Amino acid sequence: MNYLAHAYLSFHDPQVLVGNMISDFVKGKKQYDYPEGIQKGIKLHRMIDLFTDQHGATKRAKELLKPAVGPYAGAFIDVVYDHFLATDPDIHDADTWMEFSATTYRLLEPQMHHFPEKFARMFPYMKTQNWLYNYRFNWGIERSFEGVARRASYLSPENDAFQLFELHYDQLKASYSQFFPEVKKLALDLLHDQ
């Protein structure tokens, strides 16, 4: 899952939200340098990622993008899932997602002193360009795909992942629909048990 899903699966808990958003930038035992609530978010993020990678729907979705991006298919599917979450009428409409995005940035800002350096550099762009909301749009997904490709060691930004996303849109949406209720239940159960 990418940033929107991790924000959503924090269920408005400010410290869990921080941990869930910064987890990819916190390596190994560094997670124990953070307050307990942020550690909870870091652990939640990692369990969500593990569950996502092992889920059958995700494995099928990855196969649709592998011809263009090979082993990076998982990173692209994370973005795809955020798109379908952002357009899921059973969760929020467009106005509510705009409000959710603004609330997420507002909850994160007072805790910026906890951000690892890389996330701290990225966060102003996330906010001013409203990444969370713009996952709704195909052009937002295309830009996100370009960002994933730039960070990959051998992909060019001109790869065919976005064309495959458009070609297999309905199949990818079906994978999201099968997967997301299960990951939401997992996140709620994990937060309830901690």
Percent of the residues in the chain that have a pLDDT greater than 90, as a whole number = 78
Residue 4's alpha-carbon distances to 104, 105, 173, in angstroms, are 9, 11, 16
The pLDDT value given to residue 65: 94
The pLDDT value given to residue 158: 67
The pLDDT value given to residue 194: 61
* pLDDT at residue 103 is higher than 90: yes
The pLDDT value given to residue 47: 95
Residue range 114-138: average pLDDT?
95
* Average of per-residue pLDDT values in the chain: 92
Long-range contacts of 36-42 (CB under 8 A, 24+ apart): 37/13, 38/114, 40/15, 40/16, 40/191, 40/194, 41/10, 41/13, 41/15, 41/16, 41/17
